[in-house]
Amino acid sequence: MASTARRHEARDARLDAIFQALSDRTRRTLLAHLARRPAMITELAAPFAMSLPAVSRHIRVLEDAGLVARTVDGRVHRCALHAAPLRSALAWLQHYRRFWEGNLESLARYAERR
């Protein structure tokens, strides 16, 4: 029982980190860029009016959530998307799909009667 509770706690902590990382528009934009191709921090920072250290802090949050892998070669930091953790977030959201679909179907039936 205790090991099950620890597994649930670890899963919940991972979900917290993923959703916290996704809660910021800048980080979502960074992920969208990395979904197209890996990039250096300097490339990722270019569209933003912020310093390299600020972008690096956003990347760190994404790394902590397991969504980005960073490699360092001297002073060059390269980042790549690691999308696998999004599966657990999607699975959590899918749990509520029946609720959304049920509400939408009820709304459609109500609108059709009007």
Q: Is residue 101 part of a domain?
A: no
C-alpha span between 62 and 30 (Å, rounded):
9
> Residue 80, SS3?
strand
Q: Is the pTM of this model over 0.75?
A: yes
Q: Which domain holds residue 62?
A: 2-83
Domains identified in the chain, total number: 1
Length of the chain in residues, anyone? 114
Mean pLDDT of 65-90: 94
C-alpha span between 45 and 67 (Å, rounded):
17
Q: Residue 29's domain is classified under what CATH number?
A: 1.10.10.10
pLDDT at 7: 86
Give the residue, 29 or 8, on which the prediction is more confident. 29
Q: Is residue 107 part of a domain?
A: no
Q: Is residue 97 part of a domain?
A: no
Q: Is residue 89 part of a domain?
A: no
Q: Is residue 91 part of a domain?
A: no
Per-residue model confidence as pLDDT tens digits over 9-37:
888 899 999 999 999 999 999 999 999 99
Q: Is residue 63 part of a domain?
A: yes
Per-residue model confidence as pLDDT tens digits over 71-80:
999 999 999 9
